[in-house]
């Protein structure tokens, strides 16, 4: 049986980077010390090492994620041809439907956005590459969770489901009923559960050779979603998933 080893320096570095990645503005050292529960002497030593390697950078009296960390992280996207396949399929979807299309992977109980192709008109979005969102609150997450076996699903779903909006699924029973519907229809839906005034439709792509469990979605403001457009984007996002799968997912 494998043993989980804890290397304090790595754990503390991880905590620092997660705090910086979750903020849109520079984080001061005092805030980092409090958020990561680190003594200032330990914190400043880690910050100095990270800054030397350009994993973090100083800005406006605080710290932000650095360019070297971005470069290292981008290597994740280059493997298995997933991004190239997404871009080809997404270009066709945007040309047909003129709506945004997004690619995401399941990580624990979070959806992590990998890529996005924007529409040729403004749209209110809550996603950007690298952002994490709770899987039960978005169409992408429902499509990804529905692909899991019962044992895998039980390992992913937390005891409490946080609300993002007043429409977010908040009980396990409601989530499991929704996932049953996703399995039957092959379509994940988010009806203003992640952002008021925004609906999303998602389709599962599959598991890449490197083990990424991925799905695609589109997000549309409710004020421009009539029945004809709804049918068009649902058919379109399903086609995007099929196109990516044909390029990337190995046959069973």
What does the block give as tokens for 248?
Answer: 């990337």
**pLDDT tens-digit series, residues 145-167:** 999 999 999 988 998 999 999 99
Longest dimension (CA), the chain: 61
Give the model's confidence band at 127: pLDDT under 50 very low, under 70 low, under 90 confident, else very high: low
Looking at the chain, how many residues does it have? 252
Phi and psi, residue 164, nearest 5°: -100, -45
Give bridge partners of residue 103 from the DSSP assignment.
Answer: 115, 216
Answer yes or no: same fold for 8-65 and 77-248. no
Q: State the fold for domain 8-65.
A: Arc Repressor Mutant, subunit A (1.10.10)
pLDDT at 97: 92
* Angle value at C-alpha 240, between 236 and 245, nearest 5 degrees: 150
Higher pLDDT pick, 202 / 129:
202
What does the block give as tokens for 78?
Answer: 């280059």
Count Cα neighbours of 168 within 13 Å in the Cβ-side half-sphere. Answer: 18
Helix (H) / strand (E) element for 216: namely: strand 213-221
- Compute CA distances 11 → 14, 38, 233, whole Å: 5, 11, 43
**pLDDT tens-digit series, residues 23-76:** 888 999 999 999 999 888 899 999 999 999 999 999 988 999 888 887 887 777
Average pLDDT over the chain reads 89
- What residues does each domain of the chain span? 8-65, 77-248
CA 59, chain centre distance (Å):
26
**pLDDT tens-digit series, residues 85-105:** 999 999 999 999 999 999 999
pLDDT at 129: 76
Q: State the fold for domain 77-248.
A: Beta-Lactamase (3.30.450)
The phi-psi region of residue 177 (left if phi > 0; otherwise alpha if psi is between -120 and 50; otherwise beta) is alpha
What does the block give as tokens for 236?
Answer: 């379109």
């Amino acid at each position: 049986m494998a043993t989980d080893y804890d290397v304090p320096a790595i754990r503390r570095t991880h905590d620092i980077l997660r705090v910086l990645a979750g903020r849109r503005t520079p984080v001061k050292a005092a805030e980092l010390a409090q958020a990561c529960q680190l003594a200032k002497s330990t914190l400043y030593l880690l910050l100095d090492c990270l800054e030397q390697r350009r994993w973090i950078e100083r800005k406006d009296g605080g710290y932000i994620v650095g360019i070297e960390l971005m470069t290292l992280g981008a290597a994740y996207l280059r493997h298995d041809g997933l991004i190239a396949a997404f871009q080809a399929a997404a270009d066709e979807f945007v040309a047909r439907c003129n709506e945004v299309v997004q690619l995401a992977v399941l990580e624990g109980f979070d959806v992590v956005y990998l890529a996005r192709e924007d529409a040729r008109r403004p749209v209110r979005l809550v996603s950007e590459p690298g952002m994490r969102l709770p899987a039960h609150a978005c169409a992408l997450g429902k499509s990804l969770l529905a692909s899991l076996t019962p044992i895998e699903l039980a390992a992913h779903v937390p005891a409490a489901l946080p609300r993002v909006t007043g429409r977010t699924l908040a009980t396990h029973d409601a989530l499991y009923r929704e996932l049953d519907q996703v399995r039957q229809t092959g379509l994940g839906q988010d009806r203003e559960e992640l952002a008021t005034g925004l609906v999303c439709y998602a389709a599962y792509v599959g598991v890449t050779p490197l083990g990424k469990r991925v799905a695609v979605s589109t997000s549309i403001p409710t004020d421009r979603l009539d029945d004809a457009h709804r049918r068009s984007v649902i058919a379109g996002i399903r086609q995007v998933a099929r196109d990516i799968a044909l390029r990337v997912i190995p046959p069973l």
